[in-house]
Amino acid sequence: MIEAEGLTKFYGPRGAIRDVSFEIDKGEVVGFLGPNGAGKSTTIRILTCYMPPSSGTARVDGLDIMEESLRIRQKIGYLPETVPLYNELTVSRFLRFAAGAKGVEAKRMSSEVSRVTSACGLEKVAGRMIGHLSKGFRQRVGLAQALLNNPSVLILDEPTIGLDPSQIIEIRRIIEELSQDRTILLSSHILPEVAQLCRRVIIINKGEIVATDSPENLTSQLQKTSTIVLEVSGPSAEFAQAVENMDAIQKVSVVSLSGTSKFTIETDPSMDMRSDIAALAMQKGCGLLELRTMQLSLEDIFMQLVTEESTPQGGES
Q: How many residues does the chain have?
A: 317
pLDDT bracket for residue 317 (50, 70, 90): very low
CA max distance for the chain = 80
Q: How many CB atoms lie within 10 A of CB 156?
A: 26
Question: What topology is assigned to 224-294 in CATH?
Answer: Alpha-Beta Plaits (3.30.70)
Q: What is the pLDDT of residues 120-134, one digit of tens each?
A: 889 999 999 999 999
Instruction: Burial-class residue 268 by CB neighbours within 10 Å (0-12, 13-18, 19+).
Output: middle
Q: Residue ranges of the domains in the chain?
A: 2-220, 224-294
Closest CA to 79 of 163, 2, 1, 154: 154
By the 8 A CB rule, do 219 and 296 touch?
A: yes
Say yes or no to pLDDT of 315 above 70.
Answer: no
By the 8 A CB rule, do 306 and 35 touch?
A: yes
Q: Among 21-25, 183-187, 257-261, where is mean pLDDT lowest?
A: 257-261
**Secondary structure (H, E, C), the chain:** CEEEEEEEEEECCEEEEEEEEEEECCCCEEEEECCCCCCHHHHHHHHCCCCCCCEEEEEECCEECCCCHHHHHHHCEEECCCCCCCCCCEHHHHHHHHHHHCCCCHHHHHHHHHHHHHHCCCHHHCCCEHHHCCHHHHHHHHHHHHHCCCCCEEEEECCCCCCCHHHHHHHHHHHHHHCCCCEEEEECCCHHHHHHHCCEEEEEECCEEEEEECHHHHHHHHCCCEEEEEEEECCCHHHHHHHHCCCCEEEEEEEECCCEEEEEEEECCCCCCHHHHHHHHHHCCCEEEEEEEECCCHHHHHHHHHHHHCCCCCCCC
- For the entire predicted model, the pTM comes to 0.76
- Calpha distance 113→123 (Å, rounded): 11
- Calpha distance 20→56 (Å, rounded): 8
Identical fold for domains 2-220 and 224-294, yes or no, is: no
Say yes or no to pLDDT of 4 above 80.
Answer: yes
What pLDDT was estimated at residue 307? 76
What pLDDT was estimated at residue 306? 81
Q: What is the pLDDT of residues 7-56, one digit of tens each?
A: 999 998 899 999 999 999 988 999 999 888 889 999 999 999 999 999 99
Backbone angles phi, psi at 121, to 5 degrees: 65, 45
What pLDDT was estimated at residue 161? 78
Q: Does domain 2-220 have CATH number 3.40.50.300?
A: yes
Residues contacting 258, CB < 8 A, separation 6+: none
- Calpha distance 106→84 (Å, rounded): 23
- Calpha distance 182→1 (Å, rounded): 10
Say yes or no to pLDDT of 218 above 90.
Answer: no
